[in-house]
């Protein structure tokens, strides 16, 4: 009878969802609006895969069987006989009995039965007492003693709601064997409270099981299907049923088999279950029995069971969650230890998603919205869980600021080493202020260990986010802008911002060359194209005046100047060969430079950049300062023969040391450090103001000033 009623009730609920049942559909909508639709949130630091944080609220069959007030109930007709609607304003169900809606608070002439979360009313004489079926013959020898008492409490995953069934079975306190059922009843409110009157048991110990829908702390709504939780106790007057009472039962059974008395076994099992989730009861004071704990208590144990409940729910449907709960209980049963690292990691990963997105507030708000009591500090136990599973160790003042990574390969946050980002870019930091581990922000994980910069405006690649660069500016690191990372300003933009009284000398590297590095080596087709396009850009920027051109005596530098002039549309121009523009300007001993270049990692590029920026190879090169100043003096000395705008085409081996000098070694062309080298047609703009002062700007003609 009950099974068929349940199937029919679910069908009825589904039909209401699809087509509406009179005022039922609108009532359901009002209810959902009142409860608030919870948006699904997903933490996503960086580009890492992230488990969902807080679940999306899903409809439950019971959602369609609710109305705000009794005035909104549909007609109580023959079709609805025995069925119920829950009246939110009164926190009670109403039943269609003999053509009238009757409140569950006035059930003197009808009885209420429940099955898998569904309620039904019928004539009392046909259905027996409210508290359950008559006692049956015992199927095993009961323990000595017995009792007759009223049994009540709260059933919580979140709170079980109206329609949840409650059953009481005798239990052998010596062996934990479950025996006959002695009472049954229903939860008829939305706060999980139940009460069974005058329950008689021949045993001192009983098992109480609750089956039904529950309020989900992760989305604030009702579960989409019913679950069963149980409690076993030998103090049966006030018995709460919760996730902890359920988890401890198999371990209690095992300890009873080892001839440990019931109360001792229960206390030990409870400590072991809590320890599995990183909760040390020796630090929390007196531990009450699990059946006295309530998720709405303002204490550590209430916080603990709410945290465990949330972590086990963790983005799972009801069936998946209960499979996990029961598997953990069986795992702990044998030796009191949760031994499954895979599930620990999965739960820890999920908690990180909640933690990194700050979604604890969503859980807290959901539970607070039920208005059933204070919401305890569950957050601290979730925050402590994932560092324990990842084996980070304590977060204290001593290691404040330490940044680390997950070394467990089963985790979605696994990394081979700190800087290896192929798997995950998520890193974790010991927050000294909060004294807890949390996900590290980009700046925290990318600059850890940097210390002070070697020089002002130093650029470094992020240690984890390798595509992000950081600049040492004003005594601290910050994220560098794209222009700062490149270190070069577009040459035409510099030209456009010149004052009419300014003179400019653009000393740039030749355009793209062929593989030949000899004096007669030519530009590639692309090299010709790039140079002409630069000339066209100068013309478009108002460059109608004639430019002066100079080159190093190499074919590729000459062709660069010629094609810039051609692109600019300048048919007549001076093209002067200057010995000062030779790539060997800084070389004192070419044989030693050649020897160093052959043995260096990175060849000549590494050697020239290390000379320019680190002062190395002083036996092979001239002093950087004096040699650069001579070059600048020679160029300025030729200004009388030049135009207002001057293009000088030279080589990278001249420009890298010159850039190091004029930028006080801030130019981002340290090939020996980060494999950055000067790009084609990049270099230095020397700007001479009318008062004779000179400024220097690194310039680029292509998209980037450096090649890597």
Averaging pLDDT over each range in 1-10, 19-28, 365-374, which range is the top one?
365-374
Between the alpha carbon of residue 319 and those of residues 159, 316, 324, 345, the distances in Å are 17, 8, 9, 20
Q: Which of 587, 564, 570, 520 is nearest to 683 (CA)?
A: 564
- Does the pLDDT at position 450 exceed 80? yes
29 or 270, greater pLDDT: 270
Mark 324-340 as b/e (b = at least 16 C-beta within 10 Å): bbeebbebbbeebebee
Check residue 52 and give its pLDDT. 53
pLDDT tens digits, residue range 204-254?
899 999 999 999 999 999 999 999 999 999 877 899 999 999 999 999 999
Assigned token pair, 392: 């980070």
25 or 152, greater pLDDT: 152
Half-sphere exposure of 131 (CA within 13 A, CB side): 17
Q: Considering the chain, what percentage of its residues have pLDDT values greater than 90?
A: 74
Point out the least confidently predicted range of 144-153, 365-374, 433-442, 538-547.
144-153
Task: For residue 30, give the 3-state DSSP assignment.
Answer: helix
H or E, element range at 302: helix 300-313
Mean pLDDT value of segment 490-514: 96
- Does the pLDDT at position 682 exceed 90? yes
Task: For residue 564, give the 3-state DSSP assignment.
Answer: helix
Instruction: Let me know: does 94 contact 103? Beta carbons within 8 Å.
Output: yes
Homologous superfamily of 484-707 in CATH?
Answer: Phosphoglycerate mutase-like (3.40.50.1240)
Check residue 693 and give its pLDDT. 94
pLDDT tens digits, residue range 593-606?
999 999 999 999 99
Half-sphere exposure of 7 (CA within 13 A, CB side): 3
Number of Cβ within 10 Å of residue 380's Cβ equals 17
Mark 439-468 as b/e (b = at least 16 C-beta within 10 Å): bbebebbbbbeeeebeeebbbbbbbbbeee
Point out the least confidently predicted range of 25-29, 568-572, 608-612, 645-649.
25-29
571 or 7, greater pLDDT: 571
Assigned token pair, 86: 């829950």
Query: Who's near 260: CB < 8 A, 6+ residues apart?
Result: 268
- Does the pLDDT at position 678 exceed 50? yes
Task: For residue 299, give the 3-state DSSP assignment.
Answer: coil
Q: Considering the chain, what percentage of its residues have pLDDT values greater than 70?
A: 89
Confidence grade of residue 579 (pLDDT, cut at 50, 70, 90): very high
- Does the pLDDT at position 609 exceed 90? yes
State how far the Cα of 349 lies from the Cα of 410, in Å rounded to an integer. Answer: 10
DSSP state letters, 415-479? -SSTT--SS----EEEETTTTEEEEPPHHHHHSTT--S-SSTT-EEE-SS-TT-EEEEETTEEEE
Check residue 22 and give its pLDDT. 35
Q: Tokens 């019928």 belong to which residue?
A: 122
Check residue 658 and give its pLDDT. 98
pLDDT tens digits, residue range 60-117?
888 888 999 999 999 999 999 999 999 999 999 999 999 999 999 888 888 888 877 7
pLDDT tens digits, residue range 369-428?
999 999 999 999 999 999 999 999 999 999 999 999 999 999 999 999 999 888 899 999
Number of Cβ within 10 Å of residue 662's Cβ equals 21
- Does the pLDDT at position 161 exceed 80? yes
Check residue 144 and give its pLDDT. 52
Task: For residue 616, give the 3-state DSSP assignment.
Answer: coil
Point out the least confidently predicted range of 13-27, 233-247, 467-481, 646-660.
13-27
Phi and psi (nearest 5°) for 88?
Answer: -60, -40
User: What secondary structure letter does DSSP report for 149?
Assistant: E
Give the strand pairing for 503-509 and 645-650.
parallel
Confidence grade of residue 200 (pLDDT, cut at 50, 70, 90): very high
Mean pLDDT value of segment 555-573: 96
Q: Which of 510, 526, 516 is nearest to 558 (CA)?
A: 510
Domain map (residue ranges) of the chain: 2-35+61-127, 147-385, 391-469, 484-707
Check residue 61 and give its pLDDT. 80
Please give the radius of gyration of the chain, using alpha carbons only, rounded to the nearest integer: 39
Mean pLDDT of the chain: 87
- Does the pLDDT at position 300 exceed 80? yes
């Amino acid at each position: 009878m009950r099974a068929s009623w349940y199937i029919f009730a679910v069908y009825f609920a589904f039909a209401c969802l699809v087509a509406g049942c009179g005022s039922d559909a609108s009532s359901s909508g009002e209810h959902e609006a009142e409860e608030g639709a919870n948006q699904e949130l997903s933490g996503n630091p960086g580009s890492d895969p992230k488990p969902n944080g807080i679940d999306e609220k899903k409809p439950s069959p019971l959602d369609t069987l609710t109305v705000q007030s009794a005035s909104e109930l549909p007609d109580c007709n023959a079709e609805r006989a025995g069925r119920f609607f829950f009246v939110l304003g009164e926190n009670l169900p109403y039943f269609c009995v003999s053509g009238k809606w009757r409140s569950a608070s006035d059930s003197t002439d009808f009885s209420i039965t429940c099955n898998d979360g569904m309620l039904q009313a019928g004539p009392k004489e046909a259905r027996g007492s409210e508290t359950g079926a008559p006692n049956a013959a015992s199927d095993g020898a009961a323990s000595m003693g017995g009792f007759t008492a009223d049994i009540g409490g709260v059933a919580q995953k979140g709170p079980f709601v109206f329609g949840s069934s409650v059953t009481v079975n005798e239990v052998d306190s010596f062996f934990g064997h479950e025996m006959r059922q002695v009472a049954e009843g229903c939860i008829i409110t939305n706060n999980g409270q139940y009460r069974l009157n005058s329950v008689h048991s021949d045993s001192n110990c009983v098992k109480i099981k609750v089956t039904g829908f529950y309020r989900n702390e992760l989305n604030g709504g009702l579960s989409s299907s019913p679950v069963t939780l149980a409690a076993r106790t030998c103090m049966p007057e006030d018995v709460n049923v919760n996730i902890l009472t359920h988890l401890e039962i198999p371990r209690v059974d095992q300890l009873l088999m080892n001839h440990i008395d019931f109360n001792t076994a229960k206390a030990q099992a409870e400590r072991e279950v809590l320890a599995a989730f990183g909760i040390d009861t020796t630090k929390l004071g007196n531990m009450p029995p699990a059946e006295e704990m309530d998720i709405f208590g303002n204490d550590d144990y209430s916080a603990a069971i709410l945290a465990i409940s949330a972590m086990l729910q963790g983005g799972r449907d009801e069936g998946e969650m209960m499979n996990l709960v029961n598997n953990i209980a069986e795992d702990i049963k044998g030796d009191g230890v949760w031994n499954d690292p895979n599930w620990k990691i999965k739960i820890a990963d999920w908690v990180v998603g909640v933690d990194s997105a700050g979604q604890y507030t969503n859980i807290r708000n959901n539970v607070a919205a039920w208005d059933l009591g204070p919401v305890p500090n569950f957050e601290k136990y979730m925050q402590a869980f994932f560092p324990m599973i990842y084996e980070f160790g304590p977060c204290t003042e001593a290691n404040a600021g330490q940044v680390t990574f997950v070394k467990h390969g089963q985790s979605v946050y696994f990394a081979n080493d700190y800087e290896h980002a192929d798997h995950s870019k998520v890193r974790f930091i010991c927050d000294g202020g909060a004294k807890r581990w949390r996900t590290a922000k980009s700046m925290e994980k990318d600059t850890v260990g940097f210390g002070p910069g070697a020089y002002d405006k130093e650029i470094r690649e992020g240690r984890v986010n390798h595509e992000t660069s950081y600049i040492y500016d004003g005594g601290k690191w910050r994220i560098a802008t794209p222009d700062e990372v490149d270190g070069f300003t577009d040459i035409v933009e510099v030209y456009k911002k010149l004052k009419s009284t300014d003179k400019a000398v653009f000393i740039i590297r030749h355009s793209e060359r062929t593989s030949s590095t000899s004096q007669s080596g030519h530009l590639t087709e692309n090299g010709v194209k790039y140079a002409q396009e630069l000339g066209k850009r100068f013309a478009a920027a108002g460059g109608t005046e004639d430019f002066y051109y100079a080159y190093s005596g190499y074919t590729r530098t000459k062709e660069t100047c010629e094609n810039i002039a051609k692109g600019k549309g300048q048919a007549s121009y001076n093209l002067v060969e200057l010995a000062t523009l030779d790539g060997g300007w800084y070389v004192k001993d070419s044989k030693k430079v050649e020897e160093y270049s052959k043995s260096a990692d990175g060849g000549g590029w590494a050697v020239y950049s290390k000379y320019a920026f680190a002062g190395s190879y002083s036996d092979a090169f001239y002093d950087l300062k004096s040699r650069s100043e001579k070059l600048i003096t020679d160029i300025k000395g030729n200004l009388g023969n030049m135009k207002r705008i001057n293009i000088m085409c030279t080589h990278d081996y001249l420009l890298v040391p010159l850039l190091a000098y004029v930028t006080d070694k801030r130019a981002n062309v340290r090939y020996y450090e980060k494999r950055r080298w000067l790009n084609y047609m990049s270099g230095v703009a020397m700007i001479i103001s009318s008062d004779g002062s000179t400024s220097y700007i690194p310039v680029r003609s292509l998209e980037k000033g450096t090649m890597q």
